[in-house]
Amino acid sequence: MTSLTEVRTSEVIVKQYQYKLKAYMGILTSLVTVQLLGLLFSLNGVGFLSTGTLGLDLSIKYYSADMIIIFTFFWGFMSALLMTTKAYREDDFAFITNRFSSNMSSVAFIATASVIGGLTAIMAGFLLRVVVYFILGNKEVIGTGLASGPLAFTTGLLAMILLVFLFSSLGYLAGIIVQVHRVFVILLPVLFFGGLQYLSSTENWNLPAFLYEFYFQESFFLLFAAKVVASAALVFTIALWISDQLEVKK
């Protein structure tokens, strides 16, 4: 039988989650701005090829939605990080709460935002193709890498949602770590980029290449999903543990 404490905690989490859906609309509306910026950058193209022979000139320009995806990942990371700041944490004071319920409602909101971010990123990719078609006018447009059916579209959408959730979990962890001491505002980027540069230059093991292959080169979707979900769960667990330690100290 569920105890009254557990019932009250779950109720508080649900109420906080519902509150955050309304209070954090700015995070969701900023997604539109970020993805539009990604769309504008994508219009420059990602590659150009020009060749000619026997009086025939051929020019090929490549377009990709990669910038929209990257911008969406960045949005997820920064949005989750901002949710750990004092201004956002004070919103929980409207409820009888603790760090656990606050964090769990935040994770639920991040999951919802990841679904929206993943869906709009995929839709923005289709919008890019429409915009490019009208920009080029009567020039021939050849689509490559398009979803070949409902199954391919669904797996692509789910993969995008999961990756946004993973990057958001990293942002949330970074924000929680900064709460430990303000020095981490400077120290975390230095350690991240410095460590990344060092590990990418080692002869025996290239961490960025390993991570890219581990996540993005996985061809079996269920295994990919398991990797991402397990990684995000681990990151959030670490963030919640650090947050609990902060509450104990206070």
Tokens of 146: 């398009």
The span from the CA of 54 to the CA of 48, in Å, is: 21
- Could you report the per-residue pLDDT of 199-208, keeping only the tens digit for each? 666 666 777 7
Q: What are phi and psi of 90, to 5 degrees?
A: -65, -20
Q: What is the pTM of this model?
A: 0.85
In this structure, what is the dihedral angle of CA atoms 15, 21, 22, 27, given to the nearest 10 degrees?
150
Whether residue 236 has pLDDT greater than 80: yes
The vertex-112 CA angle with 185 and 246, nearest 5°, equals 35
CB-count burial class (<10 Å; 0-12, 13-18, 19+) for 190: exposed
Residue 98: partners with Cβ closer than 8 Å, 6 or more residues away: 247
127-136 average pLDDT score: 81
Specify the pairing of strand 56-62 against strand 47-53: antiparallel
The span from the CA of 56 to the CA of 58, in Å, is: 7
**Ramachandran region, residue 139 (left: φ > 0; alpha: ψ -120 to 50; beta: rest):** beta
Most confident of 135-139, 160-164, 241-245: 160-164
Are the CB atoms for 82 and 31 separated by under 8 Å? Answer: no
- Could you report the per-residue pLDDT of 6-58, keeping only the tens digit for each? 557 788 888 889 988 888 889 989 999 999 999 998 888 766 666 666 667 66
Q: For helices 150-180 and 99-136, what crossing angle results, to 10°? A: 130
